[in-house]
Amino acid sequence: MSLIEVKNISKTFKVSKRRGGIPGMIANLVAPKYEKREAVKDISFSIEQGETVGFIGPNGAGKSTTIKMLSGILYPDSGEIVCSGVVPYRQRKSYVGRIGVVFGQKSQLQWDLPVIDSFELLKAIYRIPDDVYRKNLDRFTEMLDMSGFINQPVRQISLGQRMRSDIAAALLHSPEIVFFDEPTIGVDVVGKEAIRGFIRELNAQDNVTMLFTTHDMQDIEKTCKRIMIIDKGSKVYDGALSDIRSHYDSTRRLEVEFMTDTETEPIDGVETEDIDARHKRFIFGRDVHINDLMSLLLNKYSVRDINISEPDIESIIRKIYNGEGAA
C-alpha cells in the first residue's frame, strides 16, 4: 500500500452570495443567501514513500483545500484519505506526529525568542527523545548553515534565515511526510538554492515523502520528480516532470549561428524565425527528425554553432492553465 492513498475525494463550500448596494447589504443581514462552490472534484492519486511531488495549480484551483484535507485540517465531503496508515481528519493526534508542515508566509517560530528556544519548545510539544533531537539539531544546523543565527531572536534574522529555521523546525521530530507551502517565497537566490539543496539531500538520505505547493516552478524543477496539476477542482495532469513537455508541447527549437549573414531556404514542416542576420531559430514538431534537420543545415550552410532548446516548464504550465489540450 502507498504511503498516501487518496480515492475520489470531493469538497464543497457554502459561500455567501452578496447583493450590491445598501438594500442588498440589509437583505444579506436579514435573509442571507448562499451558493455552493465545489473546490475539489472527485480527485484520486497515490504517493509512494520517498516521492517528491509538486502539487500546483492557479489561484482558486483547489490545491490548498486538498493539502488541508491531507494534513487533517479539513475533511472531505466524500471519498477516502489514508496517510501513513491513518485517516488524517479522524486521527489527528496520532497523525500530527508523523507529518511536518512548512508555510512560507506563516512561521511556527516564536518572534521574540532565539531560534534555539523555539526548537526546544517543539522538542517538548512533540516529545522528541533527547538523542533524536540532538542528532537532528546538529545535522540540520550544519546542512542549513544555521550556526551563525541560531541563538538570535527570530525578529532579528533575515527572511532566508527564518525560512531555513522553519524548515528545520518542521523536521526535528523526523516526520514521514512533509508538506511545503511556498517554502522559498521572498527568499533571495542564494537562500533558495540552500533550501532546495537541503530538501534534495534530506529526501535522498532519509527517504522523506514531500509534497510541494508553490508558484515558483524552479522549486518544482529542482526538487520534484513528479508533478500533479489541479485546475478548477479537477486533476488535469499527474506524471513525471520529465514527461510533461512531450505530453503538452511537442515543439522543439534549434537555434543556429551562421558564419556570415545568411538567408535560408524554406524547410518542410519547419518554421523559421530571424533572430538577427546571422542567427535563426528553427521550430518544428515530432514529424521532423532533429538529426536530419541538423545534417541539412550543416551540409548546406556555413554553421558556427547550434543549440537545441526545449520549451520551458513555466510556458507549458501557462498553456495548461489556459485550457490548451495535450500535444
- pLDDT tens readout for residues 71-106: 998 999 999 999 999 999 998 888 988 999 888 778
Q: Which three cell numbers stand for residue 21?
A: 448596494
Show the cell assigned to 251: 515543439
pLDDT at 226: 92
pLDDT of residue 220: 87
Is residue 31 pLDDT above 80, yes or no?
A: no
What's the pLDDT score for residue 93? Answer: 84
For the chain, give the mean pLDDT: 87
Q: Which of 121-125, 165-169, 205-209, 246-250 has the lowest mean pLDDT?
A: 246-250
Q: Which of 87, 71, 92, 66 is nearest to 9 (CA)?
A: 66
Residue 133: count other Cβ atoms within 10 Å of its Cβ: 20
Residue 291 Cα distances to 267, 296, 308, angstroms: 14, 9, 11
Percent of the chain with pLDDT over 70: 93
Q: Which residue has the cell 543556429?
A: 256
- Domains of the chain, by residue range, sit at 4-245, 250-310
> In the predicted model, what is the mean pLDDT of residues 62-73?
89
Measured between alpha carbons, how far is residue 42 from residues 39, 70, 75, 79, 227 in Å? 10, 14, 14, 8, 18
Report pLDDT for 24: 66
The CA distance from 306 to 253, in Å, is 10
Res. 146: pLDDT tops 90: yes
Higher-scoring residue by pLDDT: 230, 326: 230
In 113-160, beta strands by DSSP E? none
Name the phi and psi angles at 6, rounded to 5. -120, 120
327 has a pLDDT exceeding 60: no
Tell which wins on pLDDT, 20 or 123.
Answer: 123
Strands (E), the chain: 4-16, 34-47, 52-56, 78-83, 99-103, 177-181, 209-213, 226-231, 234-240, 252-258, 270-276, 279-284, 303-309
Q: Given this model, what pLDDT does residue 250 score?
A: 66
**CATH dotted code for 4-245:** 3.40.50.300
Residue 251 pLDDT grade (very low, low, confident, very high; cuts 50, 70, 90)? confident
* pLDDT value of residue 324: 64
**Which pLDDT does position 59 carry in this prediction?**
80
